[in-house]
Amino acid sequence: MEDMIFYDRLQFAFTITFHYIFPQLTMGLSLIIVYFKGKYLINKVEKYNDIAKFLMKIFAVNFTMGVITGIPMEFQFGTNWAKFSELTGSIIGQTLAMEGMFSFFLESSFLALFIFGEKLMGQKLHFLTGFLVFLGSWGSGWFILATNAWMQHPVGYEILDNGKFVLENFSSLFSNPWLLPAFLHNQFASVATSSFVIASIGAFYILRDKNLDYGKLLLKTGVVFGLVSSILLAFPTGDWNAKNVAKYQPASFAAMEGIFETEEAGAEIVLIGQPNMVEKKLDNKIAVPNILSFLTYQKWDKQIPGMDRFKKEELPDNIPALYYSYHIMVGLGTIFIGVMGLAVFFLWRKKLFNIKPLLWTIMFLVPFPYIANITGWYVAELGRQPYLVYGLLKTSEGVSPTVSSGNTLFTLLGFVAIYLLLGLLFLILVGKTIHQGPKPQTH
C-alpha cells in the first residue's frame, strides 16, 4: 500500500511539475501582451504592436504545451485517485468544470482571433481579443486555485453517511479565506516569470547587437514589471499567505519555518539551517530572534507553536522537503528583488543597456523564477500532507485500490520519455521564435 501511494504521488508530482512550466508563463505573459497592445492603441508606435504579436507567438506555444501536458493530470483523477474523485467530485468537479467551460474555451477561442484576425477586425477589436485571452488565462487560475483552496481549507461542505462530500453553500467556494491571497500570490509569481523571460530576451538581443530597439524595450519593460511583481510577491501576498498557513495549518507553518521546539518568548526566523530529523533540531542554524513572531502577529513576544506541540500524524510527512522548498522559494524571491531593483536603478540612471555583467545576469536568471514557482507549489502541497482535504481526508484514503504500483511506475516512465521529447520540441520552437525576433509589420 505504501509503495502504491508513493508511486501515485510521484507520478502526479512529476506530471504537474512539468505541466506548470507552461501556465505560469502564459498567465503573466497575457497581461504584458495586453499592456503592449494598449500602448500601441494609445501611442500608435508600431514597435509596441510588433512586440505584442511576437509575445503572443511565444504564448501560443506555451498554451499548446500546457493543454497537452494538462490532459494526463485530468485522467489521473479517474485512475490513480479514483476514490478521491468519488468522495469529493461533487465539489471539486464544479470548479474544474467551470475552468474548462468558461476560461479555457474563452482563452483558446480568442487566442486564434488575436493571432490571425488583426487585419479583419481592426485594432480595437484586436486589443479586445487580447484582453479576453488575458481574462481567460487568469480565470483559469482563479477556478483552479478555488479548487486547491477548498482542499487546503475546506468550507461550505457536508459529509454524507457514505463518506461523500457535498456542497452546502456554493458561494463559499469563492469566499474561502484561503483563495484570494493564494490567487494573487500565484498570479504575481506568473508575472514575475514572464517579466524575467522578456527581460532575458531583451538582454540577449542587446548582447548580440540584434533587434536593438525591440531588445531595449523588452528589457526595460521586463525589469520594471519584474521589480513590481517581485515586491508584491513578498508583501502583501506572501505575507498574507504565510499568515493563512499559521492560522489554518499551524503544524505545516512550524515545519516550513523549521520550528522544532516552541519558544516561550517569541519565535526566531531561520535564515540558514538543515533539518536534523533524528535529533529534532536545525543544524548549522543562523537565525534572527523574535522576527517571525513580529512578521506573523506584529508582536515581538508572541508564541508560535513548534512541531513539539503536535502529534506525529498531524505533521507533514516530508518535513525536510517542505522546509527546503519554502526556503528556496523565499531565497530566490529575495534575489529577484535585488537584481531587478539594481536593474531599475541603472535604467533610471540611463546606464542599464551598457552594463554587460548585469545583462548576462538577467539573461541567465531566467530558469530561476520557474524554480521559485514550482517550489512554491511544493510548499502548498507538501504542507497539506498527509491530507488530500486538510484535516478531513487523508492521502491514503484517496488512492485507487485497483491500480498497482507496477502499473503506475510503468506509466510514469512513459510520461518521462514523452515529456522529454515535448520539452525539447518546446525549446526548439521558442528558440526559433526568439531567433527570428519581432518583425516590423508590412503594409
Mean pLDDT of 16-22: 96
Q: Where are the alpha helices (DSSP H) in 79-122?
A: 82-98, 105-116, 118-121
**Whether residue 203 has pLDDT greater than 80:** yes
Instruction: Report the candidate in 173, 327, 310 with the shortest Cα–Cα distance to residue 254.
Output: 310
User: What are the CA-CA distances from residue 366 to residues 133, 196, 200, 223, 266 (Å)?
Assistant: 24, 6, 7, 12, 38
pLDDT in tens, 74-113: 889 989 999 999 999 999 999 999 998 888 888 988 999 9
Mean pLDDT of 53-72: 94
**Whether residue 402 has pLDDT greater than 90:** no
Q: Residue 3 — pLDDT band, cuts 50, 70, 90?
A: confident
For 304-363, the DSSP string reads ---GGGS-GGGS-S-HHHHHHHHHHHHHHHHHHHHHHHHHHHHHHTT-GGG-HHHHHHHH
The pLDDT value recorded for residue 440 is 57
Angle between helices 212-232 and 356-364 (to 10 degrees): 60
Q: Residue 442 — pLDDT band, cuts 50, 70, 90?
A: very low
Three-state DSSP state, 158: strand
Instruction: Report the candidate in 172, 116, 119, 112 with the shortest Cα–Cα distance to residue 136.
Output: 112
Mean pLDDT of 218-240: 97
Peptide bond into 275 cis (omega under 30): no
The pLDDT value recorded for residue 1 is 64
**Whether residue 2 has pLDDT greater than 90:** no
Instruction: Report the candidate in 137, 242, 190 with the shortest Cα–Cα distance to residue 373.
Output: 190
d(CA 219, CA 339): 13
pLDDT in tens, 351-376: 999 999 999 999 999 999 999 999 99
CB-based burial of residue 177 (10 Å sphere; 0-12 exposed, 13-18 middle, 19+ buried)? middle
Lowest mean pLDDT among 19-23, 145-149, 404-408: 404-408
In the structure grid, which three cell numbers stand for residue 68, read together? 497537452
The percent of residues above 90 in pLDDT, for the chain, comes to 91
d(CA 331, CA 351): 27
Q: Residue 427 — pLDDT band, cuts 50, 70, 90?
A: very high
pLDDT in tens, 161-197: 999 999 999 999 999 999 999 999 999 999 999 999 9
d(CA 124, CA 129): 9
pLDDT in tens, 243-278: 999 999 999 999 999 999 998 888 999 999 999 999
pLDDT in tens, 107-150: 988 999 999 999 999 999 999 999 999 999 999 999 999 999 99
Length of the chain: 443
As a whole number, the mean pLDDT across the chain is 94
The pLDDT value recorded for residue 266 is 87
Helices (H) and strands (E) in the chain, counts: 16, 6
The pLDDT value recorded for residue 406 is 92
What is the maximal distance between C-alpha atoms in the chain? 72
Mean pLDDT of 296-325: 95
d(CA 267, CA 168): 39
User: What are the CA-CA distances from residue 53 to residues 111, 170, 197, 208, 349 (Å)?
Assistant: 11, 39, 16, 22, 30
Q: Where are the alpha helices (DSSP H) in 99-211?
A: 105-116, 118-121, 123-152, 179-208
Instruction: Report the candidate in 194, 211, 193, 214 with the shortest Cα–Cα distance to residue 49.
Output: 214
Amino acid identity for residue 377 in this structure: W
Contacts of residue 407, Cβ cutoff 8 Å, sequence gap at least 6: none
**Whether residue 443 has pLDDT greater than 50:** no
**Whether residue 441 has pLDDT greater than 50:** no
**Whether residue 241 has pLDDT greater than 60:** yes
